[in-house]
Amino acid sequence: MSPAMQPHRQTRQTIVRLLSSMASAKEISQYLKRFSQLDAKRFAVVKVGGAVLRDDLDALTSSLSFLQEVGLTPIVLHGAGPQLDAELSAAGIEKQTVDGLRVTTPEALAIVRKVFQQSNLQLVEALQQNGARATSITGGVFEAEYLDQSIYGLVGEVKRVNLAPIEASLRAGSIPVITSLGETPSGQILNVNADFAANELVQELQPYKIIFLTGTGGLLDADGKVIDSINLSTEYEHLIQQPWLHGGMKVKIEQIKDLLDRLPEESSVSITRPADLAKELFTHKGSGTLVRRGEKVLKATAWEQLDIVRLKALIESSFGRTLVPDYFEKTKLLRAYVSENYRTAVILTDEAEGVYLDKFAVLDDAQGEGLGRAVWNVMLEETPQLFWRSRNGNAVNHFYYAESDGCYKLDHWKVFWFGASDFDSIRGYVKHCGERQASLQG
């Protein structure tokens, strides 16, 4: 990272304290360290829609300036759809689309160019007024060719991405703010769909994060609530078959999957509001929808089907304690669900009282990815009834409260369950949890 991008140590400490109201300082520092170790151009590409520029400019500039304050410089690409619609209408030019793409005549292109430049400068100036360094890049990035001039007019398809203007901005510690205008090799300006331009830019940069800033704050489920995470490896096929998934959102999820399939495994997409960007990036809980390619989930019904050395390392790292020496000999496995890279595991045993959750382990570097939730959801599909215990003060208890039907507090433990309603079953759960021998030591 260049000297211009290095945050003052005091500034970073101040920001950790400010963010501590929404998460632990350890959690925030973990993300800062993870992001800071990346090459500057691999941190994040932020796609900003025209509606966000119009309706939420203050929150947008505040969030982007914040990232720069902690030494992280995002690459910003923006659209200007609503602004363009208004200007074309004012000029008496009727909006025409074919297959969702805007038909662009020479008269329309003059307005497209003007609107994109105005929107770009509006964001750059707002960032600068907020104390951030930002660079206007309205051309020279996307080399394009006509998509089909007879149908779309002056609309381009990106053929090559030139990173030189972006890299120059990053070296200066300045946020590159890019429009989605393309040029042919001979210099003809072409209108390029901002989503398609973002996809080409992302494939060239291979960033750690791709961030879509929207007014909805994420992808919404059947009840209109934000879906907190999507693990494509385990959830994609089920998700796209849901009747409540409307056409626009289905296309968005398909595009995200296609994008992530061509990026490194650690890359992810976040969809959030501008005001919630810091919370989405720097806390495990997040605020928006996190989409990852994710890991497949392995299922085992015998210890011999698993890599015990890796599983033991996962459990001990997750809990920060050591398993008792005879754990695998004495624990009668019913089912285990383990992510393919052994970063998350759910271990179930069959007790006289019912199915017992013996371990739910998630590595530190997997927290905040939605991987734990993904493995948990696979387990739920085959487990209608479950009970377990968790130490008082365990940070995961808020998740357990949300997932359980009830909780009973013992001196050192909380007993959770779901799927049981009769008192005798619950009494058996509490008795078992109170008497069960500890399997972790130290």
Annotated binding site for substrate: 80-81, 102, 191
List all residues 6 or more positions away from 313 whose beta carbon is below 8 Å from its beta carbon. 342
Distance, CA of 229 to CA of 211 (rounded, Å)? 14
Distance, CA of 94 to CA of 371 (rounded, Å)? 47
Cβ burial 33-61 (10 Å sphere, 16+ → b, else e)? eebbebebbbbbbbbbbbbbbeebbebbb
Q: Which residue type, as a one-letter code, is found at position 142? A: F
Q: Which residue type, as a one-letter code, is found at position 178? A: I
Contact 178, 76 (CB under 8 A): yes
Q: What share of the chain is helix, strand, coil (3-state, %, to 5)?
A: 45, 25, 30
Contact 404, 424 (CB under 8 A): no
What residues form the annotated binding site? 80-81, 102, 191
Which residue has tokens 């992510």? 339
Contact 286, 292 (CB under 8 A): no
What count of other Cβ atoms lies within 10 Å of the Cβ of residue 260?
20
Closest C-alpha to 104, from 184, 185, 193: 193
Closest C-alpha to 430, from 91, 411, 440, 241: 411
CB-based burial label for 216 (10 Å; 0-12, 13-18, 19+):
middle
Q: What are phi and psi of 91, to 5 degrees?
A: -85, 0
Distance, CA of 226 to CA of 216 (rounded, Å)? 8
Q: Edge-to-edge strands of the sheet including 354-362? A: 297-300, 333-339, 344-351, 354-362, 386-391, 413-418, 406-409
Contact 57, 48 (CB under 8 A): no
Strand 44-48 with 75-78, pairing: parallel
Start-to-end CA span in the chain (Å): 40
